[in-house]
A = this chain, B = another copy of it.
């Protein structure tokens, strides 16, 4: 049996203490000098041990202060097939998910007209260059940024209707809004991937560097025609995705 390297042993000890609840969220980890004394290793080894935990996203360094256990409470994003429209008023799907976790959901948005680039055109089944409404969102739970999204809708569908500007409408959610102009959305396809966060995402979501995110490419269709497509970014480890699918 080869002895595991010291930095992995230290990382495993700290990880166990965190997962067992012995070091709850917000707690400061032993300092690097503390670990050096405790395990009789050099500072480099202590640093590599902490780098492992940072890479796992369970601790966060604050320069000049210390390394702290991150909050791991998770929001749940529900993708419902049924009852998406069983609306209780103007509440958005995101606000509903946040409420489900006992948090207050708000969001910032910015809409503008745009010409579809190749990727968006392919997803919407339209010609590149065709006019689309682009809306970018930043969602916040209790004031903390928690989700990014960029949505595109073909203006051929919504131009000069009451829902042309998504957030000026008094109904929220793609399905409900489309219904208001007589478009019956009957299917949504989501493609979930995992990758490390980009610098912009780290900035916008207030993440520690080099953490992982879920990305979702979502497209709503009505009778086979795409009516909206969105690129959604969710911090990994802070979000669970729940899918409820009817069979047959």
Contact = CB atoms under 8 A, between A and B. Distances in A.
Contacts of A220: 247
Nearest to A56: B196
Residue picked from A194, A212, A236, A247, most chain B C-beta under 10 Å? A247
B55 A196 contact: yes
A41 interface: no
Contacts of A188: 244-245, 247
A185 B190 CA distance: 23
A203 interface: no
A3 interface: no
Interface in A77-91: 79-85
B210 A81 contact: no
Residue picked from A52, A80, A82, A193, most chain B C-beta under 10 Å? A193
A79 B245 contact: yes
A242 interface: yes
A199 to B, nearest CB: 9
Interface of A: 44, 51-52, 55-57, 74, 76, 79-85, 175, 185-196, 210, 212, 214, 220, 236-237, 240-248
15 contacts: A55-B196, A56-B210, A76-B191, A79-B243, A81-B246, A81-B247, A83-B248, A84-B247, A185-B247, A186-B247, A190-B242, A191-B242, A192-B240, A195-B237, A243-B243
